[in-house]
Amino acid sequence: MKLYYEPRMFDYMPESVDRDRMVVATYYVEDVRGEDEFIDHLRQVERLALEGSTSSWMDVAEETDELRERLTSKVLGYYEIPAPKGTKKAIVQLGFPDGAWDKNLNVPMLLLSIAGNFFAFPTKTRLLDVTIPSAVAKRFQGPKYGIEGIRKILGVEKRPLCLQIIKPKMGMTPQQTADQVYQSALGGADLCKDDEMLSELDICPLEARLEAVLKALEKAEKETGHKTLYMVSITDEVDKINEKARKAVNMGATGLLLAYSAGLSALRVLAEDPEVQAPILLHVSHMLGLLPTINFPTLAKLCRLCGADMMLTPSIWSSIPVASLEESLRVSQTLHAPFYHIKRTWPMPAAGMYPGLMPELVKENGPDIIVPAGGGMLGHPMGYKAGAMAWRQAIDAVMNDIPLEEAAQQHPELMAALQTWGLRKRPATPWGYSGPEYHPKFAPKNI
């Protein structure tokens, strides 16, 4: 007699399996049917688990008991969420045995297991987390440099870093690009980068642009003693990325910009190329289209695993708000957290950043962040150099616990930035109490 629920899939809990041999994915699954319709949600979960491993919609003779035991996904947890009649909601944990990749662990095949066909079946599915066991992680190198490596290159021990985004996104000549970054470097920008939209244009080929920018930054360093890294865009077809990266590194490139649209596999191959000795900044623009089905912390963990030294991350202060406060901060925490041998990745709270945000960004994310600024640096009323100076002044003030409005009294560049874009204060919360009137921090001073 065939059981409704296959024991080789369902008779498990997290303690039942060797977690060091299994990738565990956590999902939110929601199904909506007619109010009087019977919903067997575990059958839906079975369908998801089989889609990520061995089975078809029909039984096949070659799918033996031994094969299912060894390779079929395991249902490790089903945690129902209260829902209206006619709706089923649950958090589901599925375990994917690493035997599926015993000979060739590659990123495309891993993604097919944890984020493949089954997004098509429930009314709503979102991948919430992927737990990578050490046996799988040890087959990845992760970032070449990470937070500590880039701090060593720049000689900066503790403070946040500021990065200038070259604007406009495209259309400038190599010399115009070099002149712009030269001014920002004089003002103390730690890094500068091509915009992710910059492709190979006749008026601004990679080689000419890289040569001009490196000369400008070398000149600025001789004048100030301050080093600035340039992240040159190498985004292209997958068979050209490493070739461009090697060429750029041979020319002296100090960093590389790769867009997520090239794919996680391209990132991993680039990061693990021994000839590519330069930090990689991953631009996440294309990734944003995945957020309805995969949350940002999970994507960030995979990007770190695949070798991103730094990557743009969400923030509630952003001009492109794509994630909640909690999800945004879990991204930074995920990139900072211990992860076997994998180096830490720089979070980069991004889009619409300006110096008046610096206290809140550091309090939320800690000092191990890079803050990228395009208009929030280049739009400074006193010019590009002053725009970079304002960022450095804001960073120094925050690291010395000096309020920005006080620091601005001594620094006209910072004052102009605050007058132009403002100074933000994060709302306080009485979370954990009945309301503000009961929270000690909000108590009236009746003295």
DSSP 241: H
Which residues make Cβ contacts (< 8 Å) with residue 126, sequence separation at least 6? 27, 28, 292, 293, 294, 295
283 included as an active-site residue: yes
Which residues make Cβ contacts (< 8 Å) with residue 220, sequence separation at least 6? 182, 185, 186, 226, 228
Q: In angstroms, rounded to a whole number, what is the distance separating the alpha carbons of residues 152 and 147?
A: 9
Q: Distance from CA of residue 396 to its chain's centroid?
A: 26
167 included as an active-site residue: yes
Q: Tell me which residue of 432, 426, 306, 286 sits closest to 356, measured CA to CA.
A: 426
Q: In angstroms, rounded to a whole number, what is the distance separating the alpha carbons of residues 303 and 260?
A: 9
What are 405's two structure tokens?
């409005």
Q: In angstroms, rounded to a whole number, what is the distance separating the alpha carbons of residues 246 and 251?
A: 9
Q: Beta partners for 405?
A: none
Candidates 41, 167, 215, 439; catalytic one: 167
Q: In angstroms, rounded to a whole number, what is the distance separating the alpha carbons of residues 173 and 166?
A: 12
Q: In angstroms, rounded to a whole number, what is the distance separating the alpha carbons of residues 405 and 408?
A: 5
Q: Beta partners for 127?
A: 27, 294
What are 29's two structure tokens?
């699954």
Q: Is 430 helix (H, G, I), strand (E, B) or coil?
A: coil
Q: In angstroms, rounded to a whole number, what is the distance separating the alpha carbons of residues 118 and 246?
A: 38
Contact 306, 281 (CB under 8 A): no
Candidates 74, 88, 283, 301; catalytic one: 283
Q: Which residues are catalytic?
A: 167, 283
